[in-house]
With several copies, the nearest count.
Chain A
């Protein structure tokens, strides 16, 4: 057990740090990026510029194969790069979906032609990608999606509605899973595509979140044409491809989450007085925060264990599911607790509130985090079934064709 870099790791870290020092300013204050920020075009340009700079120097998507512009780096090297980059001021990341989910999915399931066609521009940031999976009636039950694709000559005609698509307005491409056959079992009738977001028939409407953010969109498809060469993997194999995306999604949402915000509580209560007494001397405050910190640190060290496993060539388990499951609830509780400590001021979303209402903002963003990329309930099922090997739920949608699955209360 050793937390220190090996000679190779140390060399790699030095190389990364040197390049970063030359190309970015050291980070001053921790600026927590709240989920669902609005994307200004300016932000997008900065983000693309930074991505391009990294790509040219070989520091973009470093775990990806050299042939596509990566450097075939190890997971450890990737973690080291992440640690070093986090010490510098970098523009908000508009590539998390493309690089975190779309890229890995294409690399796993795409043909060589498809990889050569899309990966390089994805990696350089020239083209931004989004994900078109969830539907109003298919959230946790993604495989219950209803958007349809019908083959017409060499094209597919897609109709339906997608939802929760981040940054759809700024994207060139999206990964899309739709139903190509409603007469077979639900998981068997799906097919996976790459769709150009400028295709005729696509309409994008932003969704306003409860925290007033507009990070997500509804995307409507009316007779959208997708050439067959943009199909990923075989017809009817869409579910398998989607799973690859979802595993990567949970890993990126879950990874090393919330630890910072939790330990901020210590600083918060050091400054705060409750009815004239220092909050930090209040044992209920101390013990509650201690309980939060224990969980937050546990998550942090778990991600290090995962990294060790990766570096030993093991495939990542559902630790990422745990990280999101535990981390999101933990942060919501912590935000609620901080608000309670603030007393009447918790009713403010004003700069006059403690920490300029940062805890209130978190309390408004975290419910989304508990839902995005798999609700708490979905994640518990995953852990129970995949880790503990417990039996699946009794299913009402097994062994019948999709069109016969109940989708609402019986009409009476």
Chain B
């Protein structure tokens, strides 16, 4: 029994951290936040050269052929750095969808481009507020043409390839769409976290290809996998937020002592640490289940997703509060974390959605 990452995996993680420290300090996130650029293109290129986008893509398709534990470590570091790149939707969802449901031709057509970063992928499910599950969507496919409007689509304005959830003759499925093709109209939307862009995409008879076997159940499994990896991204953000807060409260003096010496702050820092540790343990367990295609994955994915989302949000709320006035200024970095935690919680279904799923799955597990 060994419930920890291997030394090789930790080494890979350190490499990723060093690279991001050099190429994606928080200033990079802020730069995207404040500019009109949708994402940090050079960082995206660099990441591809590090093999991150293609981490789990087989070498035959130009990937690095790593495992999911390695990808989890990369996701964690991307989260720690608040890297302003369209990573999750492209790597955790679009790439995964192709790997699991793509035909040889589809893989050959897209995986190499996704691996080398020349194409960005995304995932389009929601069409209106409050939509988490694929079941209730309205977009339809007929004779290989997709129609319907997706709102919002993360990175939808910069992606080349969209994996779109739609209905075809009454059944839910996933479809590949080249967003530069005809019948696709995209509009960039103002984002709550402008370091990650959002768009509305209207499909009007856009050409699409079905992903084989990607039925409702398969979509759920796909979201489970993405949820685990996203949990690591959230965990990274929470860890970084807590570290920055810790450093601040130790150096900030009031009433003649560091504010970190006041129990009101100390004890809430301890609670945050617990919250994050629990999220870490749940995420590790889920990563193990993911890497081993274990039957526990559906439950583990819920645990990881819920714990990481809530730990990240709570940490960012306290981060601003403990910084006091300066924490509320644009100039300080607290709001970068405050925004990102909400952005990631909104992807792939909200914690509320996953909580209900968890109970459903625990019941099934008990019954079995």
Residues in A lying within 8 Å of B, measured CB to CB:
1-6, 9, 76, 79, 134, 136-137, 139-141, 144, 163-164, 207-210, 212, 263, 266-267, 270, 272-276, 279-280, 283-284, 286-287, 289-291, 293-295, 297-302, 304-305, 307-309, 311-312, 319, 322, 325-326, 332, 336, 339-350, 352-354, 357, 360, 363-364, 367-368, 370-372, 375-377, 379-381, 383-385, 387-397, 405-409
Contact = CB atoms under 8 A, between A and B. Distances in A.
Given A266-B359, A275-B136, A307-B1, A388 B287 contact: no
B351 interface: yes
Nearest to B349: A343
Contact of B285 (A263, A301, A307): A301
B126 interface: yes
Given A139-B325, A297-B282, A347-B346, A380 B129 contact: no
14 contacts: A1-B2, A3-B288, A266-B362, A279-B130, A286-B359, A297-B303, A299-B281, A305-B4, A311-B2, A350-B190, A352-B189, A377-B264, A381-B263, A390-B261
A367 B327 contact: yes
Given A266-B366, A294-B306, A371-B321, A346 B254 contact: no
Contact of A208 (B264, B285, B330): B330
B334 to A, nearest CB: 7
Nearest to A289: B359
A319 B277 contact: yes
A323 to B, nearest CB: 9
A389 B261 CA distance: 10
Interface in B326-346: 326-331, 334-335, 338, 342-343, 345-346
A139 B321 CA distance: 12
Contacts of A367: 317, 320-321, 327-328, 338
Contact of A325 (B251, B274, B279): B274
Given A1-B288, A208-B330, A294-B306, A391 B256 contact: no
B258 interface: yes
B346 A396 contact: no
B358 A294 contact: yes
B171 to A, nearest CB: 17
Contact of A377 (B267, B288, B317): B267
Contacts of A339: 342, 346
Contacts of A390: 246, 249-250, 260-261, 266, 269
Contacts of B325: 134, 139, 163-164, 371-372
A83 to B, nearest CB: 10
A298 B130 contact: no
A293 B253 CA distance: 37
Could you say which interface size class chain B belongs to? Answer: 35 or more
Nearest to A353: B129
A37 B282 CA distance: 33
B338 A210 contact: yes
Interface of B: 1-6, 69, 125-126, 128-133, 135-136, 151-152, 154, 189-193, 196, 198, 200, 246, 249-251, 253-267, 269-271, 273-274, 277-282, 284-285, 287-288, 291, 302-303, 306-307, 313, 317, 320-321, 324-331, 334-335, 338, 342-343, 345-347, 349-356, 358-359, 362-363, 366
A140 B251 contact: no
B334 A210 contact: yes
Nearest to A312: B4
Contacts of A375: 321, 324
A393 B261 contact: yes
Contacts of B358: 290, 293-294
Best-buried of A275, A284, A322 by chain B (most CB within 10 Å): A275
Contacts of B191: 347-350
B262 A388 contact: no
Chain A interface mostly helix, strand, loop or mixed? helix
Best-buried of A289, A371, A407 by chain B (most CB within 10 Å): A371
B281 A283 contact: no
Contacts of B281: 297-302, 304-305
Contacts of A408: 251, 253
Contacts of B136: 275-276
B363 to A, nearest CB: 7
Contact of B352 (A298, A319, A340, A396): A340
Contacts of B291: 1
A294 B353 contact: no
A408 B328 CA distance: 22
A343 B135 contact: no
A289 B361 CA distance: 13
B217 to A, nearest CB: 16
A346 B269 contact: no
Contact of A280 (B133, B151, B330, B359): B359
Contacts of A370: 321
Best-buried of B261, B307, B330, B352 by chain A (most CB within 10 Å): B352
Given A266-B362, A290-B355, A298-B282, A384 B266 contact: yes
Given A1-B291, A326-B274, A275 B130 contact: yes
Given A380-B270, A393-B261, A294 B278 contact: yes
A291 B321 contact: no
Nearest to B305: A294
B263 A393 contact: yes
A137 to B, nearest CB: 8
Contact of B366 (A267, A307, A381): A267
B267 A346 contact: no
Given A287-B356, A336-B342, 19 more contacts: A136-B326, A208-B331, A275-B130, A286-B356, A290-B359, A295-B278, A308-B2, A308-B4, A322-B277, A343-B126, A343-B129, A345-B126, A348-B198, A368-B328, A377-B263, A377-B264, A384-B269, A393-B263, A396-B257
